[in-house]
């Protein structure tokens, strides 16, 4: 299963998606975050929130493209979901494959460890004593995941719990399934 | 082989896009805009009712004749009339793409077309920064793409 997913992710990455110069991408994202920090007067809670909202708006649209490109149908359990997010989702849109780790005992939450993060190349957080405590620089990713999950009726909490930019050992996104929105599943499905 | 008409319906049942294609002797008559809304909401409702009526055992009958992205397992799948067919595609996000086609359109062609239209929706509608979800689609680029792909089927 996991092998096949990797293969599928690679194929789609190679044949179906448009690529852009990675520096253009990184620098564009960097200037957005920097501008937001300025706009919100270095109130990093608001910056995190704004990035999350931006990501959410992307996510609720991106999911349809993901479904169309991958030709996948609904996952059976959260384990599959985690594998697919990492091996296909991140692969086709960012060309990285985060490691799925740190499953909770009840299998309702997992961590995605980003060994590389194309958003954060060249980045040094501002040296104002606050940024390294509060700013989740790549928080847009959490918003994207949140939006995507919500559109396929999975209500999840998505947040960063560590980031190498802040001096942590790894960069990890935590995904916690709150509930499956059964009432919202479109008619005609289980 | 022809495609007469296309409806795109949002997950909440509102009509996002409707187009009648110019085909000689089309059995699908032109309606006024209010009637299109009525047709769309009727199909949306009938689809939901059908999903409650379909016996679970019958589900597998559709497995082969639908795309993996088509989440429509129990709902209204196809209406066959003497003159044309009405075929329903539904994504996991609840978007419906409904096609009225001639009876000689093969299944594989239909699936291809559904997939293509879904692709155009993701590329030309969802990626437009000013498009708001659940709002009617008024985009020339999407119009042109839809028209050109459908025209290629209308031979």
Q: How do the domains of chain B map onto residue ranges? A: 3-153
pLDDT tens-place string over residues B87-113? 999 999 999 999 999 999 999 999 999
Nearest to A107 by CA among A5, A182, A176: A176
Please name the fold of domain B3-153: Beta-Lactamase (3.30.450)
- pLDDT of residue A7 exceeding 80: yes
Which chain A positions have a beta carbon within 8 Å of B122's beta carbon?
A: 61, 64-65, 68
Q: Are residues A151 and A169 in contact, defined by beta-carbon separation less than 8 angstroms?
A: no
Q: Do B92 and A190 touch (CB under 8 A)?
A: no
The verdict on A61 touching B (C-beta cutoff 8 Å) is yes
Element housing B56 (H / E): none
Which chain A positions have a beta carbon within 8 Å of B69's beta carbon?
A: 67-68, 71-73
**pLDDT for B154:** 85
**Mean pLDDT computed over every residue of chain A:** 94
The three-state secondary structure class of B111 is helix
Which chain A positions have a beta carbon within 8 Å of B67's beta carbon?
A: 71
Q: What's the rounded Cα separation, in Å, for the pair A51 and A134? A: 13
Q: What's the rounded Cα separation, in Å, for the pair A17 and A5? A: 17
Using CB atoms within 10 Å of the CB of residue A124, give its burial: 0 to 12 exposed, 13 to 18 middle, 19+ buried.
Answer: exposed
Q: What's the rounded Cα separation, in Å, for the pair B51 and B53? A: 6
Q: Are residues B60 and B8 in contact, defined by beta-carbon separation less than 8 angstroms?
A: no
The verdict on A190 touching B (C-beta cutoff 8 Å) is yes
List of residues 6+ apart from A157 with CB closer than 8 A: A146, A174, A175, A176, A178
Q: Do B48 and A72 touch (CB under 8 A)?
A: no
Task: Closest CB to B72: pick one of A72, A152, A188.
Answer: A188
Query: What value of ipTM does the predicted structure carry?
Result: 0.91
Task: Closest CB to A61: pick one of B69, B92, B126.
Answer: B126
Which chain B positions have a beta carbon within 8 Å of A59's beta carbon?
A: none
Q: What's the rounded Cα separation, in Å, for the pair B95 and B93? A: 6
In which band, very low, low, confident or very high, does the pLDDT at B115 lie, cut at 50, 70 and 90?
very high
Least confident of A69-73, B6-10, B68-72: B68-72
Instruction: Count chain A–chain B contacts defined by CB atoms under 8 A.
Output: 75
Interval A131-140 mean pLDDT: 95
Instruction: At B68, give phi and psi (nearest 5°).
Output: -60, -30
Residue from A58, A74, A88, A186 whose CB has the most chain B CBs within 10 Å, to mutate:
A186
- A165: which 2 tokens? 């930019």
Give the Å distances, CA to CA, from B146 to A130, B39, B46, B112, B143: 51, 20, 26, 13, 5
Residues linked to residue A159 through DSSP beta bridges, in sequence order: A174
- pLDDT of residue A190 exceeding 80: no
Percent of chain A with pLDDT over 90: 89
The verdict on A15 touching B (C-beta cutoff 8 Å) is no
Q: Do B133 and A60 touch (CB under 8 A)?
A: yes
Percent of chain B with pLDDT over 90: 74
Give the Å distances, CA to CA, from B111 to B4, B7, B78, B105, B114: 16, 16, 13, 10, 5
């Amino acid at each position: 299963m996991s092998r096949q997913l990797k293969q599928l992710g690679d194929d789609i990455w190679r044949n179906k998606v448009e690529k852009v110069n990675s520096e253009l991408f990184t620098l564009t994202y960097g200037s957005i975050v920097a501008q937001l920090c300025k706009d919100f007067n270095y109130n990093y809670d608001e910056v995190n929130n704004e990035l999350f909202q931006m990501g959410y708006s992307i996510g609720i649209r991106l999911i349809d493209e993901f479904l169309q490109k991958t030709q996948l149908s609904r996952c059976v359990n959260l384990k599959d979901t985690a594998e697919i997010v990492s091996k296909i989702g991140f692969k086709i849109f960012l060309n990285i494959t985060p490691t799925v780790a740190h499953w909770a005992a009840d299998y309702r939450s997992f961590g995605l460890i980003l060994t590389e993060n194309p958003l954060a190349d060249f980045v040094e957080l501002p040296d104002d004593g606050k940024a390294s405590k509060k700013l989740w620089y790549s928080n847009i990713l959490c918003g994207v995941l949140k939006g995507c999950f919500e559109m396929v009726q999975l209500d999840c909490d998505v947040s960063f719990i560590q980031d190498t930019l802040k001096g942590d050992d790894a960069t990890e996104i935590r995904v916690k399934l709150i509930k499956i929105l059964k009432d919202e599943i479109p008619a005609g499905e289980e | 082989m022809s495609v007469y008409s296309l409806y795109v319906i949002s997950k909440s049942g509102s009509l996002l896009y409707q187009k009648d294609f110019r085909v000689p002797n089309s059995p699908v008559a032109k309606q006024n805009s209010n009637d299109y809304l009525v047709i769309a909401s009727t199909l949306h409702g009938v689809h939901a009712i059908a999903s409650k009526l379909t016996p679970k055992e019958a589900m597998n009958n559709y497995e082969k004749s639908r795309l993996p992205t088509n989440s429509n397992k129990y709902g209204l799948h196809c209406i066959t009339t003497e003159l044309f067919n009405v075929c329903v595609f539904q994504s996991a996000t609840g978007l419906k793409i409904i096609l009225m086609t001639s009876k000689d359109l093969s299944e594989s062609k239909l699936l291809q077309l559904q997939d293509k239209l879904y692709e155009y929706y993701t590329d030309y509608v969802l990626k437009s920064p000013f498009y708001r979800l659940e709002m009617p689609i008024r985009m020339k680029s999407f119009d042109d793409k839809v028209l050109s792909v459908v025209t290629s089927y209308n031979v």
